[in-house]
Amino acid sequence: MRTRDRWLFLFCLILTACSMLCSCGKKGNPTLKSYEKPVPPAALSALHRESEILIFWSFLKDKEQEIKGFYLMKAISPPRSAGNAVFQKIAFLKNDIRHYIDKDFKTGTTYEYKIVSRNLRDVTSNDSNIVRISPEAVPSPPGNIQFKAEHDSLILSWKSAGDKIFYNIYKSNGKGKYQLMPVNKKPVKENSFRDNFDTVNPVYYTIRSVTEDDTRDEGPASEEIVVDPSEFIPSSPSDIQAVVTKQNVYLSWKEPPETWVTGYKVYREINRKEGFVLIGETQTPAYLDKDRPSTKRSYRVTALGPSKEGPPVEIRNVVFVPFR
């Protein structure tokens, strides 16, 4: 190999080694995609509740890892003739946050909000929709809140808080601990609300009045009520009847008025010394006692609630009387 070729080969070898050393442990070059605008937040909305303006938005869960977080911006809405509002950043929020509470406002003033996302390379998205809100005095809470339990649902009712008032219903599994969002998808106009009935765990409710205007000024929480199925005691069945044959006794009765009754227990007494003994359960208002009625007996039937048993109805001195 000639001297010139040897030097050229050596130079290429050194250049290759330097390139390998420099690239060791280094991440790949950034892609053009990482410099693209991230997806903007959507469905920005605002609600005035007492001394707070609650701001909500949505963002794709599978895009969270692509952004650092969100910049929320606010402006005092100028008169239409004054031009566009001047927005200022009021908060930076982590990528898993979907709400913000603004306490810096005055009633009678109109505010505008918008929000953007910011990706890992500090590229900012397009603006979200702009939401305008003009907080005013909030309405009083509804009163006289009651509930009625049915077999698979719970009906809440309350006294009206006034004309042109809507309502938001808040629900919790713990006393006094409520989410920011109500269980109803949109404010309720009626003075009642139907919800799923949990027959196992206690549930707490409170209701807030909401004005009919676009701002939706929401007032303070009503009294809290608890729906505890462990305290539900059904009424007694009624009008128990017995049809006696030589082989068995067929019992039937009228159901109690509560629609959440889960079933019935049937007791039999053959002698007073032993008293009533449980002989079976049924989910329908009827029972077939297959024990041959060779002796006089009495029966007792109770209704079952989610956790407790109600008072009994009885039929006494049942005996088979053969036809002659």
Q: Which domain holds residue 271?
A: 238-318
Residue 179 in contact with residue 151, Cβ under 8 Å? Answer: no
Residue 24 pLDDT: 47
Does some domain include residue 222?
Answer: yes
* Tokens describing residue 16: 């290759």
Q: Are residues 206 and 259 in the same domain?
A: no
Distance CA 158, CA 18 (A): 79
Residue 82 in contact with residue 129, Cβ under 8 Å? Answer: no
| pLDDT per position as a tens digit, 21-31 | 444 444 445 55
Residue with tokens 């006294």: 159
How many Cα neighbours within 13 Å face the side chain of 221?
15
Distance CA 181, CA 171 (A): 9
Residue 215 pLDDT: 73
Residue with tokens 């359960």: 281
* Tokens describing residue 144: 């006289």
Q: Please spell the DSSP secondary structure of 138-153, one letter per residue.
A: PPPPPEEEEEEE-SSE
Distance CA 296, CA 318 (A): 6
What is the 3-state composition of the chain as percent helix, strand, coil, each rounded to the nearest 5?
10, 45, 45
Does some domain include residue 6?
Answer: no
Does some domain include residue 267?
Answer: yes
- The number of folded domains in the chain is 3
Tell me the CA end-to-end span of the chain in Å, nearest whole number. Answer: 133
3-state secondary structure of 90: strand
Residue 118 sits in a domain whose CATH number is: 2.60.40.10
Does some domain include residue 27?
Answer: no
Residue 321 pLDDT: 82
**pTM of the entire predicted model:** 0.72
How does strand 165-172 pair with strand 203-211? Answer: antiparallel
Q: Are residues 218 and 263 in the same domain?
A: no
Q: Are residues 118 and 54 in the same domain?
A: yes
- Which residue stretches of the chain have pLDDT < 50? 21-28
Residue 205 pLDDT: 98
Residue with tokens 């006794």: 249
Q: Are residues 61 and 109 in the same domain?
A: yes
Residue 281 pLDDT: 97
